[in-house]
């Protein structure tokens, strides 16, 4: 398909952003001083939605905002998939066409202060966003706020906080799991070997000793 390369060209500003409105692509614009903002250059980009994604306990940890609208799925590879739904903000006072989009603000805790990271403006059709590279051992705070057409004011933002497990710690956990599995297999093999020796070697020797004593 030629659609993904075309979308990449759109993000680089080599073509006008005119996607097919029937396609389920999420338009977004990244601002700020981070790497994502520098790569996008404040241009309009598009990404496919993560339809049907479910956070499995073995490869993902979900963090939900207090109101339940925003969920941060922290994956083991260091990326974070954000998902949200409109029903948690309450029933809309106006038709859904009044929804203009979403504003996503990001910050993380430093040693002595809180630093801002990339802010994102997302289209009204967006219901997820991928934070591709999150720093390990850093506590993030992400706040999402829907934007409506006047005169309806924007509802309060919902925020979620989480900490990404560092890559070194993930490697240690994987290595310990592998070593633990190997040790368990070795213990089972040793137990089977001891049972075999006891059953097949010790029992005949004891039987011969009993016959000699009887004679």
Eight-state DSSP code of residue 151: T
Least confident of 84-98, 108-122, 184-198: 84-98
Q: How far apart are CA 38 and CA 41, in angstroms?
A: 5
Q: Are 45 and 28 in contact (CB under 8 A)?
A: yes
* Rg (the chain; Cα; Å): 28
Query: How far is 159 from 112, CA to CA, in rounded Å?
Result: 21
pLDDT average, residue stretch 171-176: 44
CATH class of 26-164: mainly beta
pLDDT, position 83? 94
From 53, 56, 82, 55, select the one nearest 70 (Cα to Cα). Answer: 82
Please measure the distance between the N-terminal and C-terminal CA atoms of the chain and give it in whole angstroms.
89
Q: Taking 80 as the threshold, does the pLDDT of residue 166 lie above it? A: no
The average pLDDT across 172-194 equals 63
> pLDDT over 70 for what percent of the chain?
65
Q: Tell me the average pLDDT of the chain.
A: 74
């Amino acid at each position: 398909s030629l659609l993904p390369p075309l979308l990449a060209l759109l993000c680089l500003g080599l073509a006008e952003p005119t996607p097919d409105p029937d396609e389920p692509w999420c338009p977004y614009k990244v601002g700020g001083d981070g790497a994502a903002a520098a790569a996008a250059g404040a241009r309009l980009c598009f990404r496919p939605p993560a339809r049907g994604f479910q956070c499995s306990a073995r490869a993902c940890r979900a963090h939900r905002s207090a109101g339940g609208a925003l969920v941060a799925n922290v994956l083991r590879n260091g990326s974070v998939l954000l998902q949200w739904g409109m029903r948690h903000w309450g029933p809309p006072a106006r038709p859904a066409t009044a929804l203009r989009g979403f504003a996503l603000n990001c910050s993380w805790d430093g040693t002595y202060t809180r630093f801002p990271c990339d802010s994102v403006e997302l289209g009204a059709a967006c219901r997820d966003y991928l934070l591709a590279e999150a720093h390990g051992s850093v506590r993030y705070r992400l706040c999402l706020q829907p934007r409506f057409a006047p005169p309806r004011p924007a509802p309060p933002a919902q925020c979620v906080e989480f900490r990404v497990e560092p890559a070194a710690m993930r490697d240690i956990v994987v290595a310990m799991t592998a070593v633990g599995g190997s040790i368990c297999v070795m213990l089972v093999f040793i137990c089977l070997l001891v049972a075999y020796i006891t059953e097949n070697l010790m029992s005949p020797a004891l039987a011969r000793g009993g016959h000699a004593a009887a004679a």
